[in-house]
Amino acid sequence: MPTVLIVEDEPDLAQVMELALGRAGFDVLAVDTGSEARAVIVSRQVDVVVMDRGLPDMDGLEATAFLRAAGFLGAVLVTSGHAGTDHVAASLGAGADDVLGKPFTLAELVERVRGSVRPTVAEAG
């Protein structure tokens, strides 16, 4: 079962995301700061990170860049209320694999996460 880390500081949104992804068969962890995300990534196996861009302690892109620098090879999906190609380019430049604009449907979130899970060499082999 793939593990998804949700990094979202809006409690209601984090809760519904966690429920939707859990019902879709994912093992889900949720934190509300970039610092907590960094701690989870270095201590636990995670397959996908759903990273809010606007976190209370740091920009989600800063946290994404840290995850990549720390060797995280899983998928990162950045969620944001920001619009425009500059935002998408900045997210991809920081190491995100995909960008999902807010508001989004839970069905779209689940399918984007499902599509971003990459099989390991052992699973593919």
Q: What is the pLDDT of residue 84?
A: 78
Q: What is the pLDDT of residue 119?
A: 61
**Rounded Cα distance, 2 and 113, in Å:** 10
Segment 15-40 shows an average pLDDT of 97
In the predicted structure, residue 17 carries a pLDDT above the cut 90:
yes
Q: State how far the alpha carbon of 31 is from the alpha carbons of 105, 119, 125, in Å.
A: 20, 25, 33
Q: Rounding to the nearest 10 degrees, give the CA dihedral for residues 9, 34, 43, 18.
A: 20
**Rounded Cα distance, 110 and 122, in Å:** 24
**Rounded Cα distance, 111 and 84, in Å:** 22
**Rounded Cα distance, 91 and 95, in Å:** 7
Q: What is the pLDDT of residue 81?
A: 86
Average pLDDT of the chain to the nearest whole number: 91
Q: State how far the alpha carbon of 79 is from the alpha carbons of 17, 68, 92, 113, 120, in Å.
A: 12, 17, 12, 12, 25
Q: What is the pTM of this model?
A: 0.91
At 85-122, the pLDDT tens digits run 888 899 999 999 999 999 999 999 999 999 998 664 44
Structure-block tokens of residue 27: 């093992």
Q: What is the pLDDT of residue 53?
A: 94
Q: Which CATH architecture has domain 3-46+60-104?
A: 3-Layer(aba) Sandwich (3.40)
